[in-house]
Amino acid sequence: MSVAGLLLAAGASRRMGQAKQLLELEGESLVHRAARVALEAGLAPVIVVVGCHEAEVGAACAGLPVQQVMNEGWAEGMASSIRVGVKHLVSRAPRAEAVLLLACDQPAVDADFLLSLLRTYLAEPERIIAAAYGGGLGIPALFPYRCFEALIALTGDRGARALLESGEPLAIPLPRGEQDLDTPEDLRQFTRR
């Protein structure tokens, strides 16, 4: 099984007012934590898509065996990062059977949850598998190879949501998955818990 991890870390974090990828929880930046968790789950390669804060995000991943790829069009939104990352994956790891999309602002995601997605993929290798939280589906989400062309064709800021809505994915509950860190208030609430 060859499943790559694609960590989307190119955004400007406008609502946060600073680069949320670099915020620290328990002494570790969010981007470093997300990349480490992906590696612990056995994803390979792990590709970190950088953009607005390229140098700082890249430096935060130093010491981890990840591939960094620049998204020059990061301002378009999440779809541009997915396109850049999947194109990089196809060119650098053509044997990848699937890709697991991740964000760095979801502190509830750990290696155990990613392993549950991978176990489900082993049983259902042609299905899209997505995290279920907050009454819907989202990332982390695993897309089999048959979806790569559709991922490369995405546009806009909705990421892969259209694929999740049309692909009848398998849903894996992610407890507290709706707790992403988009604003300073989100961070305050999470650290209070």
CATH number of the domain encompassing residue 71:
3.90.550.10
| Rounded-to-integer distance, Cα 83 and Cα 78, Å | 9
- The domain total for the chain is 1
3-state class (DSSP) for residue 110: coil
- For residues 184 and 150, the answer to whether their CB atoms sit within 8 Å is no
Q: Is the pTM of this model over 0.85?
A: yes
Q: Which pair of structure tokens corresponds to residue 180?
A: 């992403």
Question: What CA–CA distance (Å, rounded) separates 83 from 110?
Answer: 25
DSSP lists the bridge partners of residue 28 as: 25
> Which residues have a Cβ under 8 Å from the Cβ of 91 and sit 6 or more positions away?
none
Domain residue limits at 94: 3-192
55-110 residue pLDDT tens: 888 999 999 999 999 999 998 888 999 999 999 999 998 899 999 999 988 888 99
Helices (H), 146-183: 148-152, 161-166
